[in-house]
A and B are shown apart, each in its own frame.
Chain A
Amino acid sequence: MSEIFRNLARRKLRTTLTIIGIVIGILALTVMGSMSEYFNTLVDNAVNLLGTNIVVSPKNNDFESILTTGDERRVRRIAGVRDVIPITTDTIDELDAVSLGIPDIVYGVPPEYSSALFPSVTLEKGRWLERGDEYQTVVGSQIAKKRKLTLGSTIRYHDRDFVVVGIMNPTQTTPDSLALVNIDTARRLLKAPDLIAAMYVLPENPAWVDTIAENIRANVENVQALTPTEAIDQARQALAVFNIIMLSGAVLAVFVGGLAVINTMIMSVNERRHEIGLKKAVGATDGEIVREHLLEAAVIGFLGGVIGLLLGWGLAGLLNLVTAQAMGGSAIFNVTPRLMLVAIGFAMLLGMLAGFYPAWSAARLDPVKALRVDS
């Protein structure tokens, strides 16, 4: 092994430039991959978040269509529906023309259902909304962090102060940016007494979810009903496209790094023809020659991988700081152990793949020709 390091150290500039090629690729892979990992986590969390609730919303996603109390009644009549939670949605603040990140959202919910909306979400502090609450709110962890809220603090919505009575635990997804208020209060402030933006439909039996969703689609006009499985599938499809776009850029960068390894290893084999010829003459097998050169390429890949990963990790941390300021504490680059293993493994594999042809050509050298003084 020390022989390999010494050989690499002999051509410091060339080795460094080759490693930099890999570093850039792995750095890109780490940063892009960490963003992808973050969104993967979001989707995974969303699976738990929805539980078995069906989300019913207007068929047209045009921000103007709404549901009505009539729609709510029709949904309640569907067989197997245990309960329906209507909600209103609004942003807490007026949206700026240019706004970074996810805005804070107010969900108006019937107070007695505030805990049933997202069954897996628990409270870090305080209590859920109760019947009779008017200007009370339960807020998500992100809002609490960003606005430095604690129990008894107030947030301003439509020129009224809402007292924080509960703070939810972090979920890495929608509820973190939510403030739950009484739906009647929200409707009053929005001057829309029958407004329903969406409904969460609770089934009597989780096994009936698909049937209930089909019946809603068949019996209630102008609505779409999304089961948790469908919602996750939709999210995963969107994520897959996102991942392909993000990662293909990184893979391209890594591929260029691989070309640098091929180039370096071919030059190395050419320079070391005498050495290879001698080793073959004194009895080194083709396999031993291939192994030696593959190991050298793998070391280049490993070094590039480790340095690229560390730099990528650092850059992801830095970007998290920047985005946290812009988006209120949300870290969107998630360097997971899985990503670290993939990055290092990929770099080594790339090194070895790139080193295979030069190693193979080294093993194929005719020792007599390789030992010619003018070769």
Chain B
Amino acid sequence: MLETQDVSLIYRNGEGMTYAVKRANVVVRQGEFLGLVGPSGSGKSSLLYLLSGLKTASEGEVSFDGKAYRHLGNDKLIQLRRTRYGFIFQQHFLINYLSVFENIMVGALEQSPGARERARALIAELGLEKQSQRLPWQLSIGQRQRVAIVRALINEPAIIFADEPTASLDQATGHQVVDLLAQYRGHGSIVFVTHDPEMLSQADRVIRMRDGEIVGEEKRNGNHGTP
């Protein structure tokens, strides 16, 4: 579904250059929970940005359903992100003057009654009904991250990209977030970046990174998705 071919992200400083990601080959299969793990600065977030089209590859190709990002053009790439991808970041990045419900609708493809109905259903599913009209500062950190998850799920994306979503949470809340995301496996894929291997207990596959390079891959849980 989503794959890279020798993809690199290079930062140039004057005459020198640094590989944030070096010739990585990754396949994200439909319906799998893929973990990217590594220490700080290993390039796992950069790889996620390349996979999701938030960063343009310096070398190599990234393609979704056989279409290379390089040939899509910026408008179609934005459209792809909008329609097929969902994002969760380390910080919830909720807009502080909008209610929980309105924050979720920021990610919605359209402000239709159907989208609003889906937002309400997701809010109920994640136990945020009482908080739906509250502002972000009135929520606990765990609740805010759950709202961010609902925002990512609102368009039923093909892939959810989660960049260190548990890094700011305590262990218990972090595991709750992982459990919530793991439930989405039936609907789409999850690419989950973390520096904490404990958070990948539910992953189907884990890719290890160091110094911008993939240094290992481990299959788990028996569910490896379909390519």
Contact = CB atoms under 8 A, between A and B. Distances in A.
Interface in A273-290: 274-275, 277-279, 281-285
Interface of B is mostly: mixed
A194 B106 CA distance: 88
B98 A281 contact: no
Contacts of B79: 283
A190 B75 CA distance: 86
Contacts of A282: 81-82, 86-87, 106-107, 151
B91 A373 contact: yes
Given A283-B79, A283-B83, A285-B75, A371 B55 contact: no
Nearest to A7: B97
Contacts of A94: none
Given A368-B49, A368-B54, A373-B90, A283 B95 contact: no
B82 A278 contact: no
Interface string B95-130: 101100010001100000000000000000000000
B81 A283 contact: yes
A277 B97 contact: no
B46 to A, nearest CB: 9
A281 B55 contact: no
Nearest to B45: A368
B93 A278 contact: yes
B78 interface: yes
Interface string B36-79: 00000000000001000011000000000000000000010011
B78 A274 contact: no
Contacts of A283: 78-79, 81-83, 85
Contacts of B83: 283
Residue from A279, A283, A373 whose CB has the most chain B CB atoms within 10 Å: A283
Nearest to A8: B97
Interface string A263-300: 00000000000110111011111000000000000000
Contact of B78 (A6, A277, A285): A285
B81 A279 contact: no
B19 interface: no
B89 interface: yes
Contacts of B89: 278, 281, 371
Contacts of A278: 87, 89, 93, 95, 106
Interface of A: 3, 6-7, 10, 274-275, 277-279, 281-285, 367-368, 371, 373
Complex A-B, nearest 3 residue pairs according to Cβ-Cβ distance, in ascending order: A283-B82, A278-B93, A283-B81
